[in-house]
């Protein structure tokens, strides 16, 4: 390896800027770049490892059109609004208090000046709402989360857990921000275990009110978004207690949701009986005012019970269409998946942003090179491609999977079909967990791929990483969510053997469980041709085979261990196995949706590009898990080698069209505004930023 200044020609040393601009032109406009490649001599050639790899021609505009979907207009409105109001853009350095106020002003501006009505979209056209959420999140993730708290969580709980009277009373105020609100579920002692909440709502039949009470410090509502400063009302989750004539005096009907005013609508004063504290400066998302709430016998009218799944009559009688506490609890949580859908969707958008910055910079940045020749772009190093190209492929894969999730969510909201509700619940849990974990890891990789400059706050990785990190925890901790996916799979597996049916996303297991559980075919285990490895059938079969094996083997292990350990102990004994199963299943769904998206793409050049990216996604995943496939001889040793070689080759090919692939995300400079990745001015913005 050469040291940076060795063997560089005199011309290189005196013309670094011109050379960089030429190189930049190479990846900005491929047509011109290819002409330069043949005409301008060695300095613009790719390094040896990439030479000879055919380059697809990609129509960025067509690919972008296919990717954007139907709700680009609303995103455009958001970006245009912030372009016209630079004073509303979040600066790099900002105090917690200023950031909170700025986020509130940003949201007010969007709703009251730009005339955007997020709550209407959420109800009438969820895909439009999620597109809006994606755009505001890419401007500032704090704004995205503040918006999500107001509409998905506070608004969503009122509309989905309440009935017509609640909608009539609160809809407009939530929509136009006259009623900024909170979603108060988590307590100091209980986060994931929602059924363990201790806040109580006791019915007083004399006054026809509920009394909301925090019985101990562990029951203080904690981390509640919008509570520290701006929230005026809150949906509070509490155990509904009804007076009885037995010894205990009350009967616990399980966790229900109640609307509790917390601040005066006009003066913003905290209301009597309510104590609010600030959760303080956080690792990220400091534009969101998270607070802690304590209730000291706060009285609210009976009608403030969000009574869709359970109601209390004037004389204190409880009624519900659902027979048990567990069923009511499941139905309640089932209605709250909107927040999770939004997080999965927005997480993909963070991945797009970070990948765009890292890839643009990696094309521009040159370090080292062959003896006596120009330095090469760092993206021409195999190791760099290995870091970024499968990530780019995964971004595409997640994009289509989350678009599918949003479609299913919208359909579920229209039809309320029971199977669809179950499917969306498991799919949103699995995708939220899988995608946000992947993005969190990738943000560190992107930072590192940009070297020291990746560490400058202005280049965004640090802020994105800090803000996004908690996506892995809120709206359901990822490890807990994956267990729900595994539990659901096992339930369906059991039902299958009792003659039951699978929900849509699980259908593949029903159709082919027997095929997948038979011994691997020793003939196909040796097929190594590129055509075979790039055949979607081979790829999907491999993913599904792995899921089916994991499902069957964990079912056997659970049965065995529960005899001695009981069901809780057995589950814990098999926990890692169960998490792997859930991830494997989600990967199978992601690949299936990606393959569908490739096949449905109407533009030939875009379809070819997507096919390439999809193959890289599939083979990279198979290669990463090659031990599993080898262990059971699903792939023979030479086939494993062929998969590895082809994966590297596909990475080179994807690298060749990386510019078009990130351009197709169509993110405005305003959100990929990291100076190191600015298309038009290259490093100039960056040097200006530090004062030259």
Ligand X SMILES: Cc1cc2nc3c(=O)[nH]c(=O)nc-3n(C[C@H](O)[C@H](O)[C@H](O)COP(=O)(O)OP(=O)(O)OC[C@H]3O[C@@H](n4cnc5c(N)ncnc54)[C@H](O)[C@@H]3O)c2cc1C
Phi-psi region of 499 (alpha: psi -120 to 50; beta: other; left: phi over 0): left
Residues 154, 235 contacting (CB under 8 angstroms): yes
474 or 545, CB closer to ligand X? Answer: 474
**Sole residue written with tokens 């950031």:** 99
Q: State the Cα torsion 178-346-540-620 to the nearest 10°.
A: -170
- Residue 164's CB: how many other CB atoms inside 10 A? 8
Kindly state the smallest distance separating residue 571's Cβ from ligand X, in Å: 9
Considering beta carbons, is residue 222 or 686 the nearer one to ligand X?
222
Task: Record the tokens describing residue 383, joined without a space.
Answer: 């190791």
Binding site for ligand X (CB under 6 A): 149, 183-186, 191-192, 223-225, 282, 285, 290, 470, 473-474, 477, 479-480
In the numeric block, which tokens belong to residue 94? 């900002």
Integer Rg of the chain from CA: 27
Selection from 600, 502, 497, 597 nearest residue 544 by Cα: 502
Residue whose pair of structure tokens reads 């640090």 in the numeric block: 462
Nearer to ligand X, 192 or 367 (CB): 192
Q: What is the nearest approach in angstroms of ligand X to the Cβ of residue 668?
A: 27
Tell me, rounded to whole angstroms, the distance of Cα 660 from its chain centroid. 23
Least separation, in Å, of the C-beta of 109 and ligand X?
22
The distance between the two most distant Cα atoms of the chain, rounded to a whole number of Å, is: 95
Residue nearest to ligand X (CB): 191
Nearer of residues 274 and 450 to ligand X, judged by Cβ: 274
Minimum gap (Å) between residue 284 Cβ and ligand X: 8
Give counts: helices (H), strands (E), the chain.
26, 13
Name the nearest CA neighbour of 24 among 254, 310, 364: 364
Cβ at position 192, least distance to ligand X in Å = 3
Q: Which residues are catalytic?
A: 475
* Nearest alpha-carbon partner for 26 in 660, 674, 685, 610: 660
Please tell me the distance from the alpha carbon of residue 448 to that of residue 3, in angstroms, as a whole number: 20
Separation of alpha carbons 195 and 211, rounded Å: 19
Neighbouring-strand partners of residue 293: 221, 276
Q: Which is nearer to ligand X, 128 or 256 (CB)?
A: 256
Q: Nearer Cβ to ligand X, position 88 or 184?
A: 184
The packing angle between helices 337-364 and 418-449, to 10°, is 30
Q: How far is the CB of 233 from ligand X (least distance, A)?
A: 13
Taking the complex as a whole, the smallest distance from the CB of residue 256 to ligand X amounts, in Å, to: 15
């Amino acid at each position: 390896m050469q040291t940076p200044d060795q063997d560089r020609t005199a011309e290189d040393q005196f013309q670094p800027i011109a050379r960089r601009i030429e190189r930049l032109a190479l990846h900005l406009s491929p047509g011109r770049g290819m002409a330069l490649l043949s005409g301008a001599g060695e300095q613009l050639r790719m390094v040896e490892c990439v030479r000879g790899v055919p380059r697809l021609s990609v129509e960025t505009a067509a690919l972008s059109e296919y990717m954007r979907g139907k709700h680009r207009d609303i995103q455009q409105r958001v970006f245009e609004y912030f372009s016209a109001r630079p004073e509303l853009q979040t600066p790099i350095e900002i105090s917690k208090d200023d950031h909170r106020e700025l986020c509130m002003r940003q949201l007010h501006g969007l709703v009251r000046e730009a005339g955007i009505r997020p709550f209407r979209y959420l109800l009438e056209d969820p895909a439009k709402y999620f597109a809006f959420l994606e755009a505001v999140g890419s401007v500032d993730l704090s704004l995205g989360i503040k918006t999500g708290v107001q509409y998905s969580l506070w608004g969503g709980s009122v509309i989905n857990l309440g009935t017509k009277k609640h909608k009539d009373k609160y809809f407009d105020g939530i929509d136009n921000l006259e009623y900024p609100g909170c979603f108060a579920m988590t307590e100091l002692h209980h986060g994931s275990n929602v059924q363990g909440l201790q806040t109580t709502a006791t019915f007083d039949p004399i006054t026809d009110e509920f009394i909301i009470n925090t019985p101990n410090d562990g029951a203080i509502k904690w981390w509640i978004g919008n509570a520290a400063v701006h929230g005026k009302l809150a949906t509070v989750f509490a155990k509904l207690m009804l007076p009885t004539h037995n010894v205990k005096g009350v009967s616990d009907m399980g966790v229900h949701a109640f609307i509790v005013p917390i601040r005066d609508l006009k003066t913003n004063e905290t209301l009597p009986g309510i104590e609010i504290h600030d959760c303080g400066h956080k690792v990220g998302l400091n534009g969101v005012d998270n607070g802690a709430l304590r209730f000291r016998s706060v009285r609210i009218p009976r009608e403030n019970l969000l009574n869709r799944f359970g109601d209390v009559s004037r004389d204190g009688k409880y009624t519900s269409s659902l027979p048990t506490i567990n069923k009511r609890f499941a139905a309640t949580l089932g209605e709250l998946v909107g927040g999770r859908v939004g997080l999965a969707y927005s997480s993909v958008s963070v991945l797009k942003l970070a990948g765009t910055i890292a890839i643009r910079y990696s094309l521009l940045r040159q370090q080292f090179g062959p003896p006596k020749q120009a330095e090469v772009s760092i993206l021409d190093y195999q190791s760099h491609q290995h870091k970024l190209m499968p990530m780019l492929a995964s971004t595409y894969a997640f994009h289509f999977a989350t678009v599918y999730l949003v479609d299913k969510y919208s359909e579920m909201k229209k039809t309320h079909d029971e199977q669809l509700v179950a499917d969306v619940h498991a799919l949103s849990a699995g995708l939220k967990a899988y995608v946000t974990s992947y993005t969190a890891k990738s943000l560190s990789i992107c930072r590192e791929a940009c070297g020291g400059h990746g560490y400058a706050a202005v280049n965004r990785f640090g802020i994105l990483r800090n803000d996004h990190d908690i996506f892995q925890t809120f709206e359901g901790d990822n490890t807990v969510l994956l267990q729900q996916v595994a539990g659901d799979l096992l339930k369906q597996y059991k039902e299958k053997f009792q003659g039951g049916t699978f929900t849509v996303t699980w259908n593949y297991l029903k159709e082919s469980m027997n095929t997948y559980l038979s011994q691997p075919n020793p003939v196909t285990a040796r097929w190594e041709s590129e055509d075979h490895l790039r055949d979607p059938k081979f790829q999907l079969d491999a993913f599904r085979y792995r899921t089916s094996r994991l499902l069957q083997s964990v079912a056997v292990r659970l049965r065995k261990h529960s005899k001695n350990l009981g069901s809780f102990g057995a589950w814990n004994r098999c926990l890692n196995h169960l998490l792997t199963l859930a991830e494997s299943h989600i990967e199978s769904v992601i690949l299936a949706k990606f393959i569908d998206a490739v096949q449905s793409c109407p533009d030939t050049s875009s379809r070819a590009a997507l096919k390439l990216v999809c193959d890289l996604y599939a083979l990279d995943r198979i290669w990463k898990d090659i031990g599993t496939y080898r262990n059971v001889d699903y792939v023979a040793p030479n086939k494993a080698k062929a998969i590895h070689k082809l994966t590297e080759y596909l990475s080179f090919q994807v690298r060749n069209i990386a510019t078009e692939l990130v351009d197709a995300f169509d993110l405005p400079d305003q959100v990929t505004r990291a100076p190191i990745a600015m298309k038009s001015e290259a490093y100039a913005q960056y040097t200006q930023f530090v004062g030259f």
